[in-house]
Amino acid sequence: MTLTFLLNGERVDLPAVHPTTTTLDWLRETKHLTGTKEGCNEGDCGACTVLVTDATGTHALNACLLFLPQLHGKSLHTVEGLKGPKGELHPVQDAMITHHGSQCGFCTPGFIVSMAVAHATGRTDHDTVLAGNLCRCTGYHNIVKSVLHA
């Protein structure tokens, strides 16, 4: 069976995929989309957060726990795929820049994707939006400001 899904708006057809290949490994090692980070590889830190849209809606999911075959028939966006048609930044990326929501930057892509899911679904509670994303630099004040102004 061919695995078919959208990656950042482009159709992907994979004829053979090992069933335990994680989305994180495939994105980084095969597609060279390194914005999706490997932090804990256990689904706790949120550094690997990706945006997945299916029949039930738009979700922030941990790519380290998401097996590639689970994407069949769905749409996957990474932080690289959030830019607009002319390369302009997504509103949540603008908010992170404006409110200095990034320190070392390692966790930033995961936070941005979670914020983009909230932006797409209309969620506004910052605790819900940021649940599952950790920052080792403890820069949450400016990250929360970014969420509130995105």
* Domain spans in the chain, listed from the N-terminal domain onward: 3-149
User: What phi-psi label fits residue 59: left (phi over 0), alpha (psi between -120 and 50 degrees) or beta?
Assistant: beta
**Predicted TM-score (pTM) of this structure:** 0.93
What is residue 5's DSSP assignment?
E
The angle, 0 to 180 degrees and rounded to 10, between the axes of the packed helices 140-149 and 108-121 is 30
Q: With contact defined as beta carbons under 8 Å apart, do 8 and 76 qualify? A: yes
CA–CA separation, 90 vs 14, rounded Å? 29
Is the alpha carbon torsion for 56, 58, 61, 66 positive or negative? positive
Q: What is the model's pLDDT at position 150?
A: 78
For domain 3-149, give the fold: Ubiquitin-like (UB roll) (3.10.20)
pLDDT digits (tens, 9 = 90+) for 37-74: 999 999 999 999 999 999 999 999 999 999 999 999 99
pLDDT digits (tens, 9 = 90+) for 83-140: 988 999 999 999 999 999 998 999 999 999 999 999 999 888 888 888 999 998 877 8
Q: Give the CA radius of gyration of the chain.
A: 15
Q: What is the model's pLDDT at position 127?
A: 85
